Amino acid sequence: MPLAESSAISSRNVSVKLSNFRGIFAADYIAALDGYTQIDGGWLNGHYIQLPYQLLNCVVGITYSFVMTCFILFVMSFSGLHLRVTEDEEEKGIDPSEIGYFAYDYITEDTVEQEAEEDSEVEV
């Protein structure tokens, strides 16, 4: 492998690891090491718009993720899948309602019923 190719490969690895700083430290001569890529560079080369481009890219990515997650959750709510358990399951505990038994030995159905009775007496 010629020296120029190994330099291009190592510079790509460094630029991937330092992707957050590409807008500032993007150098036109590093990108040109592959003999094909031509860029205007970053902040240090006087191409000041590169940093806002990349910040906008981050904002767009975060916004897209948020909107798509909301859409998926909205579709899930109509298909019968819910993010929360019912109030009754919440009072009894998630273990018996989701997996069918108590995950811890010190909790039994009697304990849950006693706690529910104590809570109802306190509310009165």
For the chain, 124 residues long, the average pLDDT of each consecutive 10-residue run is 46 48 70 81 80 91 97 90 82 76 67 70 60
> If you count DSSP H runs as helices and E runs as strands, how many of each does the chain have, helices first?
7, 0
pLDDT at 28: 76
Q: Which residues contact 11 (CB under 8 A, 6 or more apart)?
A: 30, 33
State whether 94 and 70 are in the same domain.
Answer: no
Report the number of distinct structural domains present in the chain: 2
pLDDT at 56: 94
From 58, 78, 98, the end of a domain falls on: 78
Q: Which domain holds residue 116?
A: 87-123
* pTM, two decimal places: 0.51
State whether 69 and 40 are in the same domain.
Answer: yes
90-107 burial, b at 16+ Cβ within 10 Å, e below that, comes to eebbeeeeeeeeeeeeee
State whether 41 and 98 are in the same domain.
Answer: no
Q: Which residues contact 116 (CB under 8 A, 6 or more apart)?
A: 91, 92
Q: How far apart are the first and last CA of the chain?
A: 81
State whether 43 and 95 are in the same domain.
Answer: no
State whether 93 and 69 are in the same domain.
Answer: no
State whether 44 and 91 are in the same domain.
Answer: no
